[in-house]
Copies of this chain bind each other. A is one copy, B any other.
Amino acid sequence: MIKIGVVGATGYAGEELIKILLRHPGVKITDVSRYSADKEESISDIFPAFKGRIDLPCKKIDAERISKNADLVFLALPHKASMDVAPEFLKAGKMVVDLSADYRLSAEDYKTWYGVDHRDKGNIPVAVYGMPELYSASIKNAKLLSNPGCYPTSIILGIAPVLRSKAIDPAHIIADSKSGASGAGRKADVALSFCEVNENLKAYKVNEHQHKGEINKILSEISGVSVDAVFTPHLIPMNRGILSTIYLRLKEKMDTAAVLGIYNEFYKGKPFVRIFKEGVLPQIRGVVNTNYCDIGLKVTGSTLVVISCIDNLLKGAAGQAVQNMNIMCAFNETDGLL
């Protein structure tokens, strides 16, 4: 039984982590904590759905206390907070799965996209990027696992097969992504209030969203050439889910069936990617509350349109984090996730 600390348990990703870990056969949550704790509250005071199932006190983060009771910690903290606590857990010999962006980029790129100097540069090279469909071999031995971002997960999984097979032109990639509101986190902000999000729809940070660095880095690794994708995120009036509509340019004439063949081959044996048959496209409804990435596609002229759907809090955050833990700890990859 692996003992788990959930650090940053009061956000939406933290809530989902706890839900999954509660039904996981091989782990036990021993500590839940949060950034600041004015008053003593149990996790079930904060999320009443946990009442009677897990009533641990949600204490202020204290790496020493947590390390005593945990073999592995999930860091579900905001960007820029993880890099201040991860080193302590690593020093204590704990496995760390970080859900923030803090270990996804080089120090230079981190500065570019997140606007601050990285405060734990030494551990960046140690971190393993946790997209199991691409990097399972290195995940097995990871001590510091950097869990991918939500938008990057939906986009990279949607492009990887034809990018690696060189069927598409890497110079012309457009990703138009639509996300539910939980992607912005659990916080007080007029722009996230019900009346501003409901019955509304907007694009934001057009081609300058901080996830762009991560998307381009991984797509470049896959293709072997420098990729600069156009990426437009949109905020949709729903709680969860990301649907990315990806426009790619085929280098040679292919039909939908041939392209689907590439995807099916690429994801053979991967339990959490489902490729839809010709004529059927995935919807958010099919992935919400699951760890699946559902992919459908259509060729129209020289354009390949790919639809890639995930639950941003699961395959885009907590679910993928547990999938990575499963690989790191030699559990079944699907434990707790079906």
| Residues of A in contact with B (beta carbons under 8 Å apart) | 12, 22-23, 47-49, 51-53, 174, 176, 178, 181-182, 186-190, 192-204, 206-208, 228, 230, 232, 234, 236-241, 243, 245, 247, 274, 276, 280-290, 294, 298, 300-301, 303, 305, 307, 338
Contact = CB atoms under 8 A, between A and B. Distances in A.
A200 B283 contact: yes
A91 B53 CA distance: 41
B283 A206 contact: no
A201 B243 contact: yes
Given A49-B288, A195-B239, A202-B284, 7 more contacts: A48-B285, A48-B286, A49-B285, A188-B188, A192-B194, A198-B238, A230-B300
Contacts of A338: 22-23, 53
A23 to B, nearest CB: 7
A276 B206 CA distance: 15
A245 B202 CA distance: 10
B48 A282 contact: yes
Contacts of A298: 206-207
Given A199-B199, A228-B301, A241-B201, A194 B181 contact: yes
11 contacts: A12-B195, A51-B274, A186-B190, A186-B195, A186-B196, A193-B194, A199-B199, A203-B281, A206-B300, A230-B300, A230-B305
Given A194-B192, A234-B178, A305-B232, A203 B239 contact: no
B181 A195 contact: yes
A197 B230 CA distance: 28
Contact of A200 (B201, B228, B284): B284
A236 B236 contact: yes
A236 to B, nearest CB: 6
B198 A198 contact: yes
Contact of A285 (B188, B196, B307): B196
Contact of A201 (B12, B284, B300): B284
Contacts of A238: 198-201, 237
A206 B281 contact: yes
A243 B203 contact: yes
Contacts of A283: 48, 200-202
A52 to B, nearest CB: 6
A282 B47 CA distance: 11
A199 B282 CA distance: 14
A202 B281 contact: yes
A57 B201 CA distance: 26
A51 B284 CA distance: 14
Contact of A294 (B48, B174, B199, B236): B48
A198 B193 contact: no
A207 B284 contact: no
A202 B52 contact: no
A230 B303 contact: yes
A238 B199 CA distance: 5
